[in-house]
Amino acid sequence: MKTIADYLFDTKAVRVSDPEKPFWYASGTLGPFYVNTHFLIESEEKANELLALIEESAAGDRSDFLTNILPFVKKQYETSESYKMVIDLIVEKAKELDFDIISGGERRDFFFSLMPAYLLGKPHLSIFKDGETYFSANVEEKAVKVGSDDLSGKKSLHIADLITEASSYTNAWIPSIRGVGANITDTIAVIDRLQGGEANLRKEGVNMYTFAKIELSLFDEGVEKEILTKAQRDMVAHFMENPIDYMKAFLTEHPSFIDEQIALGGKPKQRAEMAISRGYVPGRS
């Protein structure tokens, strides 16, 4: 029987690089893996289809937002093993908690908040990046825009794709939920990046529940299942211990890498030049 770790690697929701070809991150640093939880919908291709639909629907009449995307996620739930597994995990955990409505935030939260609301017969609060909030008493029907105290006395369970430092919660999701008069004491996310999010949520009085953690044991499991090589696992271990030391060690062992990246132009060139300017490249400034 497949575990969530199997599906994280199968769908490339967690993708580990070749030890000789690490990934560039937006910060101008190098790293050995990416986490794209929304690929659990089935694949990167399907995830991008849903993201495009979410963006198109958010830009239109938001009273129809959920009804526009519900057929897509229902079909994926019926046809995608990985998506069904993670949604079922969320639903089973949600059944243990006390809440009146489910909330999700633009964009990737909607991958994981809408189907549980549908399956549990719960209302859904959609929170958009511009601060607008729409309430669906029934996710199969039109939503209504809500504002200050419209949901007074209600308790929301926020469902998200992943949690890093929980800055989206503290800056947007929690203020939006409280702004419409509701309360939040629990949240479910698929993945915990182990970057302090749980502690930050605890300060807000919110309990966090997740199904996978980005820790070395996940990559050990990948080696045991012969999904990853030991070299990939050791690369991840070095990165987790000290990301900058990992990067400097890689660049010392591959002295031509930066010039090769600059020669490629585009994003590789931009990231390489950023790395130099930030002092990450030994012997370059």
How high does pLDDT run on average in the chain? 97
Note the pLDDT of residue 250: 97
CB 171 within 8 A of CB 138: no
Domains of the chain by range and CATH? 4-35+226-277 (no CATH), 48-214 (3.40.50.2020)
Six-digit token string for 115: 């189907």
Q: What end-to-end distance do the CA atoms of the chain give, in Å? A: 51
The pLDDT confidence band at residue 283, using thresholds 50, 70 and 90, is confident
Q: What is the pLDDT of residues 147-195, one digit of tens each?
A: 999 999 999 999 999 999 999 999 999 999 999 999 999 999 999 999 9
- Give the percent of the chain with pLDDT over 90: 98
Q: What is the pLDDT of residues 76-106, one digit of tens each?
A: 999 999 999 999 999 999 999 999 999 999 9
Instruction: Give the number of other CB atoms < 10 A from CB of residue 40.
Output: 30
**Cis ω on the peptide bond leading into residue 15 (within 30° of 0)?**
no
Q: What is the pLDDT of residues 188-243, one digit of tens each?
A: 999 999 999 999 999 999 999 999 999 999 999 999 999 999 999 999 999 999 99
Please identify which residue in the block is written with the tokens 């659990």.
Answer: 40
Q: What is the pLDDT of residues 29-75, one digit of tens each?
A: 999 999 999 999 999 999 999 999 999 999 999 999 999 999 999 99
Predicted model pTM? 0.95
Instruction: Give the number of other CB atoms < 10 A from CB of residue 271.
Output: 21
The pLDDT confidence band at residue 284, using thresholds 50, 70 and 90, is confident
The pLDDT confidence band at residue 248, using thresholds 50, 70 and 90, is very high
70-86 b/e (C-beta count within 10 Å ≥ 16 → b): bebbeebbeebebbbbb
**Pairing between strand 133-136 and 124-127?**
antiparallel
